[in-house]
Chain A
Amino acid sequence: MAITIRRVKHRYSIALLVGVLFGCNQKNDNLLLIDGSSTVYPIMEATSEEFLKKYPDFSIAIGVSGSGSGLAKLLRRDTDIADASRPITPAELKTAYETGLALIELPIAYDGLSVVVPTSNTWAKTLTVSELKRIWQPKSQGKLMRWNQIRPEFPDREIHLYGAGVTSGTYQYFTEAVVGTSRASRGDYTSSEDYNVLVQGISTDPLALGYLGLAYYLENKTKLNPVAIDDEQDANGKAGVLPTYETVRTGLYQPLTRPLFIYLSREQARRPIVRQFVAFLLKQAPVLVKETGYVPFSSTLYQLVRQRFMSEKAGSLFAGKKESGVRLEQVLR
């Protein structure tokens, strides 16, 4: 008899399991899925926290898989909003077009890509863009391995490089701005989509040099030293410029100041939760963006972005174009 009872129990638990699995699969109107750039993540996290305080019935899940992965998920309709630290590529736009997705592009903040070293590093105070290029260009792979190869007065010790993973927008932007070709980089460095891993690596490795989003540097100011970047042009002064809130806002920090984006489809933009979330984000951005360590736009610029969202204007202003030096105010008008 015991056997029969056990069987019944089993059947019951299987039914339960099936129920749970199907339950998870149901589309939930109160659930918002965000995925993409780890650079933009802090803004999304802060916004969703504030948003959920105001609208406790909603829930938001934020993934951090890198700009490329986030956009890929958006194109597969696996996420509702993709955040990206680079503009969408023409190829991605084409895929969207082919799968019948009208994508809306919204710039939301400025970031200053920061080149950092651990606080124990006493020599790397300023680097020129051409020095950065020499460090990171594909040709240097396996060749430029010591600090004094950058500048003779630097110590004759190994250099350990840390940088963004190849699917991240940060990688794409950095290679474009520094090496000159998008996605052209040496490969022998510690790469991660997770900036906390990079912070951990750089801050504890005396020979490290790496790059990451401004927010991650500001949050770890006690562990990391910024390197001033000299773009070798006199427009922003002759010396190197440190990544700070002010230098990014005023555009002095070149060429590593860049806009951050969110992307969503037109059909998603009509869902109440998405609509409310994006409206909330654009309204609170001046406060939240600053809070998370990034640099907010001017209020006129946010007004323009809001108009773009309301009019559901699809397409990209940046796809396939050089980003550095583009004035958002002009292109958004």
Chain B
Amino acid sequence: MPTRNPPTRTRQRTTERVIELFLAGCGSISLLTTVGIVGVLLFDSVAFFRDVSLWDFLTDTQWTPLATDKHFGILPLLSGTVLTTAIALLVALPLGLLIAIYLSEYARPTLRNTLKPMLELLAAVPTIVYGYFALTVVTPLLQRLIPGLSGFNALSPGLVMGFMLLPLVASLSEDAMRAVPQGLREGAAALGATRMQTALQVVLPAAFSGVMVSVILAISRAIGETMIVAVAAGQQPRLTLNPLVPVETITTFIVQISQGDVAQGSLEYNTIFAAGLTLFVLAFGLNTVGYFLNKRFREQYD
């Protein structure tokens, strides 16, 4: 390589500034995107709420925007979302936490280093694959155990979604638990605590904020999950907490409308923005709760 004269100071400074600006631009992309999405959601939702009162939207127990007798109550969709999410969390939280405790406190490093990447492989499976797995494998299996289970139901996609969330919960919680200083464990051991006592009464509370973040993320993910429930949970809005019958989640409804040819700008079309806004409010609320929990319970050991 031929030697070159070092660039002058001013040139260096200009380059610095340009790079800095560029990086700031990159940083603001996520913010701008959020603002843009909220803007679009709000804008089209306003059009929706001109025709449908917020009170009806929140209290009507029927959701039939495409039928002759139109009802715009979000509750049936919300119950579908809550039901599938709850089932997923019933699987993902206990199992995920147990896995995290095992990986962080019990597993030997070599074992951990093979187990963790394998667990994270689960996160690499596309959700549509999970969806058809739920529909064609898990549902028929469950039907043998539970007679009367519909082909579309909340139970099967909920369970499968739980497994999809496992790596998220387990991996993040494990990271948080491993970040707990070794001194705490040694202190507990010195006081005569068993490994189990150390894990549950010392490490877990110390890592609580990190664990909470993983839980909140898992809930947001489950609420927003689309393909699994669209494929396996059914497409009928039904206000029920019965996991054995077909339900429709908010996300499935949005898919259904965007696939059909409902005229853009019509009231029926705007329902998806109102539904989307509901989803956003839910996820945003949860993330905010997560943020405060994280701040409130953060333990500093440095």
Contacts and interface: CB of A to CB of B under 8 A. Distances in A.
Interface of A: 1, 65-66, 68-69, 72, 138-139, 141-142, 158, 160-161, 165-167, 183-193, 197, 200-208
Nearest to A190: B236
B302 interface: no
B66 A187 contact: yes
B287 interface: no
A187 B67 contact: yes
A187 B261 CA distance: 17
A205 B246 contact: yes
Nearest to B61: A142
A66 B256 CA distance: 13
Q: For the complex, would chain A's binding face be called helix, strand, loop or mixed by DSSP majority?
A: loop
Chain B residues touching A, range:
20 to 34
Contacts of B150: 160, 201, 204-208
B1 A1 contact: yes
Highest count of chain B CB atoms <10 Å: which of A189, A203, A207: A189
- Closest 6 A-B residue pairs measured CB to CB? A187-B67, A204-B151, A187-B64, A138-B68, A205-B150, A69-B261
B62 interface: yes
Contact of A142 (B62, B65, B262): B62
A99 to B, nearest CB: 16
Contacts of B143: 204
B260 A66 contact: yes
B260 A166 contact: yes
B69 interface: yes
Contacts of B140: 204
Interface in B165-198: none
A14 B235 CA distance: 41
Given A69-B261, A187-B67, A188-B237, 4 more contacts: A138-B69, A167-B260, A197-B235, A208-B150
A259 to B, nearest CB: 22
Interface string B115-131: 00000000000000000
B64 to A, nearest CB: 3
B163 interface: no
A241 B40 CA distance: 52
A209 to B, nearest CB: 13
A278 B256 CA distance: 32
Contact of A186 (B64, B139, B259): B64
Given A138-B68, A204-B139, A69 B62 contact: no
B7 interface: no
B269 interface: no
A151 B234 CA distance: 27
Contacts of B69: 138-139, 141, 186-187
Given A187-B66, A188-B67, A69 B1 contact: no
Contacts of B64: 141, 186-188
Best-buried of A141, A188, A200, A206 by chain B (most CB within 10 Å): A188
Interface string B240-261: 0000011000000000100111
A166 B67 CA distance: 8
Given A69-B261, A167-B260, A184-B68, A190 B1 contact: no
Given A186-B64, A187-B66, A187-B70, A206 B148 contact: yes
Interface string B12-52: 00000000000000000000000000000000000000000
A270 B242 CA distance: 57
A36 B236 CA distance: 23
B272 to A, nearest CB: 15
Contact of B67 (A65, A141, A206): A141
A183 B236 contact: no
Contacts of A1: 1
